[in-house]
Amino acid sequence: MVMKRKSVKEIILGFGIKKALHYLDSDPEKNIPRILNWLIRIDKEGKYVGKQAKLILSYMDSKYNNWYRLVKSLYTDIDDEVRKKLFENFIVNGVFLGGKRQNKARKKYQCNVPWAILLDPTSGCNLHCIGCWSAEYGNKLNMSFDTLDNIITQGKDLGVYFYIYSGGEPLVRKKDIIRLCEKHRDCAFLAFTNGTLINEEFAAEMLRVKNFVPAISVEGFEEETDYRRGEGTYKAVEKAMELLKRKRLPFGISCCYTSKNTEIIGSAEYFDYMIENGAKFAWFFTYMPIGADAVPELLVTAEQREFMYYQIRSFRGSKPIFTMDFWNDGEYVKGCIAGGRRYLHINANGDIEPCAFIHYSDSNIYEKSILEALKSPLFMEYHKNQPFNSNLLRPCPLLDNQGRLAAMVERSGAKSTDLKNPEDVRSLTEKCIPAADRWEPVADRLWEESHEEISWDGCNGCNRCSGCNGCMMDEIIIRKNEQ
């Protein structure tokens, strides 16, 4: 695939945004509101960052506001050149230029086109966490540097400038990850990592390339983390966070909440400690019983999931850290983001999967291009069926909607990508049905409660009139009109 050159419009727009970002650094406290207003003006329809800019701007009046403190900390706590490079790659390339290219591709090919690609450089890992499917593979599966490079090149042709590594433990492939950062300096890279392989040498490389951010997996405090990840893991994580903070490098945390640790992960004490350690974002996942070594007992109860629903929303108004819950935040992203709608997953064997938690595929990167995979039967099943529920607090076709995943897999002819213990999709679904049944009435109650006081006048975020990329108002209005 030949890389597309940027158009004259893209070059001019990119140049303008870069100038604006550099202008910020002269006096960020004074200029942040000005830049937000400028972003709102150039994104009048709210397709890219206009809505987010309006939201942030509304919180910038008070210096004691948590969002103000978070934005300000990006200038006081993060290396200047690293921040500039990441802002440029995220905002200029990933959001504006990439977003426009993605939208064109969606219209042209009539399929999903992702904003991010999640890929596994290796199945190898230096830990053996309880309930982790990747532990089944050992270190047998690896994608070469050339394959990884080709995936990124293909992605950029479609407008994708954000790449996330998982595994296995991606930092087993440190050297290749840094080489990819060097070669694709216009991209932003993130890795879900256990953090134990972050050392002085790698921190120095991160400072040099400037476009790599770790999301350190942590299960709570020492007892909870070491329970799943092994003795000594938590202290290694603390050491890694101390190093990154000292080097003024951005990082976040990745938290899997289970029946054993939900109350800890959702506590103010835990949030405050991670913020104190330097984390700027926290991504939350609920445990999924994938693979032969899965532990269904780790699935959260409906009460625990509701607890996280309220806790994260509460902390968004009080804690200076950006949070995202990939299940409970379905209403903000119109349900499931997998299947190429906002991201897809390529495992270490090259299988192109709709989701990191859905190990079924009808495409492989060694046989098909990314675009061909997006137009394959399995990905088109996602495209046709999303969102999977009008209640966007039930976004997942596996965990929240009984039988939806199984039906799509069977219609598409997709096969299990688990090379060691292929899992029948009906068997997988059966493990999740009890949790789905218990969550359904809770989610329905929360959905009704959270939208009953919404104002319906003057909405300009409906998919039917502005083609927005995230507003839920169209689904809500339909439900309101039916009542």
CATH classification number, 111-385, choose in 3.20.20.70, 3.30.565.10, 3.40.50.2000, 3.90.950.20: 3.20.20.70
> If we measure between CA atoms, which residue out of 324, 335, 329 comes closest to residue 383?
335
Residues 377-387: what's their mean pLDDT?
98
Question: Token digits for 33?
Answer: 């509101």
The HSE-up count of residue 412 (CA atoms within 13 Å, CB side) is 30
Whether the pLDDT of residue 480 is over 50: the answer is no
Which string of DSSP letters, residue by residue, matches 295-349? -GGGSPPHHHHHHHHHHHHHHTTTSSSEEEETTTTGGGTTS--TTTTSEEEE-TT
Whether the pLDDT of residue 17 is over 50: the answer is yes
Contacts of 483 (CB under 8 A, 6+ apart): none
Per-residue pLDDT at 264: 95
Read off the pLDDT of residues 282-328 as tens digits, 9 standing for 90 and up: 999 999 998 877 889 999 999 999 999 999 999 998 999 999 999 99
Read off the pLDDT of residues 108-127 as tens digits, 9 standing for 90 and up: 999 999 999 999 999 877 66
> Rounded to two decimals, what is the model's pTM?
0.86
Per-residue pLDDT at 442: 98
Confidence at 54, pLDDT banded by 50, 70, 90: confident
Per-residue pLDDT at 230: 81
> What are the backbone angles phi and psi of residue 421, rounded to the nearest 5°?
-135, 80
Residues 236-263: what's their mean pLDDT?
96
Instruction: Report the percentage of the chain scoring pLDDT > 90.
Output: 65
Q: String of b and e for 160-177 (b: at least 16 CB within 10 Å)?
A: bbbbbbbbbbbbbbbebb
Spell out the domain ranges in the chain: 8-102, 111-385
State the residue for tokens 């039916």: 482
The CB density around residue 265, as the number of other CB atoms within 10 Å, is 26
Write down the mean pLDDT value for the chain.
85
Contact 330, 389 (CB under 8 A): no
Read off the pLDDT of residues 403-429 as tens digits, 9 standing for 90 and up: 999 999 999 999 999 877 899 999 999
